[in-house]
Chains A and B, each alone.
Chain A
Amino acid sequence: MENFQALMQGFELALSMHNILYMILGVLLGIVVGVLPGLGGPNGVAILLPLTFGMDPTSAIILLSSIYWGALFGGAITSILFNIPGEAWSVATTFDGYPMAQQGRAGEALTAAFSASFIGAICGVLLITLVAPLVASFALRFGPAEFFAVYLLTFCSFIGMGRENRGKIGISLCIGFLLAAVGMDSISGDMRMTWGSGELMRGFDFLVVVIGLFGVSEILMTVEEGLEFKGKNARIQMTVVLKTWAQMPRHFVTLVRSCAVGMWMGVTPGGAIAASFMGYGLARRFSRNGRNFGKGEMEGVLAPETAAHAAGTSALLPMLSLGIPGSATAAVLLGGLMIWGLQPGPLLFVEQKDFVWGLIASMYLGNLAGLIIVLLTVPLFAAIMRVPFGMVAPLILMVCAIGAYTIANSIFDIWLMLGFGIVGYVFKKLDYPLAPMVLALVLGDRAEEAFRMAMLGSGGDVGVFAANGLVSTLIVLALTLLLWGPISDLLAKMRGKMATE
Chain B
Amino acid sequence: MFRPAIALVALASGIGPVMAWEPTRPIEIVVPFSPGGASDQMARTIQGIIQKNSFTKAPIVVVNKPAAAGAEAMMDIKSSAGDPQKLLTTSTGVFLTPMTTKLDLAWTDYTPVAMLAEDAFALWVNAGAPYQSAQDFVEAAKASGAPLKVGGTGSKREDQLIALGVNKAAGINTIYIPHTGGGQASTQLAGQHLDATTNNPAEEVANWRGGATRPLCVFSAEALPYTEKVTEDESWHDIPTCASQGLDVQYQMLRGIFLPGGVTPEQQAYYVDLFTKVSETDEWKEYLERSALLPEFRAGEDFVTYLQGEEEKHRAMLSDAGFLVQ
- Asked if A and B are interacting partners, one says yes
Residues of B within 8 A of A346 (CB): 206-207, 209-212
- In angstroms, Cα B190 to Cα A189, docked, is 26
Instruction: Name the CB-closest residue of B to A198.
Output: B75
14-38 of chain B: CB within 8 A of chain A: 34-36
A358 on interface, CB distance cutoff 8 Å: no
Size of the A side of the interface (Cβ < 8 Å), in residues, is 49
Residues of B within 8 A of A486 (CB): none
Looking at B45-53, B133-141, B255-263, the stretch in contact with chain A turns out to be B45-53
Residues of A within 8 A of B41 (CB): 335, 338-339
Contact B212 A187 (CB under 8 A): no
Contact B190 A140 (CB under 8 A): yes
A184 on interface, CB distance cutoff 8 Å: yes
- In angstroms, Cα B62 to Cα A339, docked, is 15
- Given the interface pairs A183-B68, A186-B69, A334-B36, the reply to whether A50 lies near B210 with Cβ below 8 Å is no
The contact size tier of chain B is: 35 or more
A456 to chain B, nearest CB (A): 6
A42 on interface, CB distance cutoff 8 Å: yes
- The 8 Å CB contact of A409, one of B71, B76, B184, is B76
- The 8 Å CB contact of A408, one of B62, B72, B209, B290, is B72
52-73 of chain B: CB within 8 A of chain A: 52, 60-63, 65, 67-69, 71-72
- Given the interface pairs A142-B191, A457-B193, the reply to whether A345 lies near B210 with Cβ below 8 Å is yes
- The 8 Å CB contact of A143, one of B76, B156, B193, B286, is B193
- The 8 Å CB contact of A187, one of B71, B155, B192, B209, is B155
Contact B206 A343 (CB under 8 A): yes
A422 on interface, CB distance cutoff 8 Å: no
- Given the interface pairs A140-B190, A322-B187, the reply to whether A328 lies near B34 with Cβ below 8 Å is yes
B178 on interface, CB distance cutoff 8 Å: yes
Contact A184 B206 (CB under 8 A): no
Contact A141 B191 (CB under 8 A): yes
Residues of A within 8 A of B35 (CB): 42, 46, 328, 331-332, 335
- Given the interface pairs A50-B47, A184-B68, A186-B178, the reply to whether A324 lies near B34 with Cβ below 8 Å is no
Looking at B100-108, B163-171, B296-304, the stretch in contact with chain A turns out to be B100-108
Residues of B within 8 A of A187 (CB): 155, 178
Contact B147 A459 (CB under 8 A): yes
A300 on interface, CB distance cutoff 8 Å: no
Contact A323 B206 (CB under 8 A): yes
A161 on interface, CB distance cutoff 8 Å: no
- The 8 Å CB contact of B36, one of A143, A183, A332, is A332
A49 on interface, CB distance cutoff 8 Å: yes
B44 on interface, CB distance cutoff 8 Å: yes
- Given the interface pairs A186-B154, A409-B76, the reply to whether A459 lies near B45 with Cβ below 8 Å is no
Instruction: Name the CB-closest residue of B to A49.
Output: B44
A284 to chain B, nearest CB (A): 32
Binary A-proximity of B146-185 (CB < 8 A = 1, otherwise 0): 1101000011100000000000000000010110100110
A220 on interface, CB distance cutoff 8 Å: no
- In angstroms, Cα B181 to Cα A335, docked, is 14
Residues of B within 8 A of A335 (CB): 35-36, 40-41, 44
Contact A140 B67 (CB under 8 A): no
A291 to chain B, nearest CB (A): 40
Residues of B within 8 A of A341 (CB): 286, 290
Instruction: Name the CB-closest residue of A to B188.
Output: A143
117-152 of chain A: CB within 8 A of chain B: 139-144
- Given the interface pairs A186-B154, A456-B177, A459-B147, the reply to whether A53 lies near B48 with Cβ below 8 Å is yes
Instruction: Name the CB-closest residue of A to B63.
Output: A409
- Given the interface pairs A189-B101, A345-B206, the reply to whether A459 lies near B146 with Cβ below 8 Å is yes
B205 on interface, CB distance cutoff 8 Å: yes
Instruction: Name the CB-closest residue of B to A51.
Output: B51
Of the candidates B146, B192, B209, the one having the most CB atoms from chain A within 10 angstroms of its own CB is B209
- In angstroms, Cα B155 to Cα A263, docked, is 33
- Given the interface pairs A187-B178, A189-B69, A201-B71, the reply to whether A345 lies near B209 with Cβ below 8 Å is yes
Q: 22 pairs across A/B with beta carbons < 8 Å?
A: A47-B61, A50-B44, A141-B191, A184-B68, A184-B69, A189-B100, A201-B72, A203-B67, A203-B68, A323-B183, A323-B187, A323-B206, A323-B207, A331-B40, A332-B36, A338-B290, A344-B206, A345-B210, A346-B206, A346-B210, A449-B180, A457-B177
B→A interface (CB under 8 Å): 34-36, 40-41, 44-45, 47-48, 51-52, 60-63, 65, 67-69, 71-72, 75-76, 100-103, 146-147, 149, 154-156, 175, 177-178, 180, 183-184, 186-188, 190-193, 205-207, 209-212, 286, 290
A→B interface (CB under 8 Å): 42, 46-47, 49-50, 53-54, 139-144, 183-184, 186-189, 191, 198, 201-203, 322-325, 328, 330-332, 334-335, 338-339, 341, 343-347, 408-409, 449, 453, 456-457, 459
Name 10 extra pairs, CB < 8 A, besides A142-B191, A328-B35, A457-B193: A50-B47, A141-B191, A143-B188, A184-B69, A189-B155, A198-B103, A322-B207, A331-B36, A335-B41, A457-B177
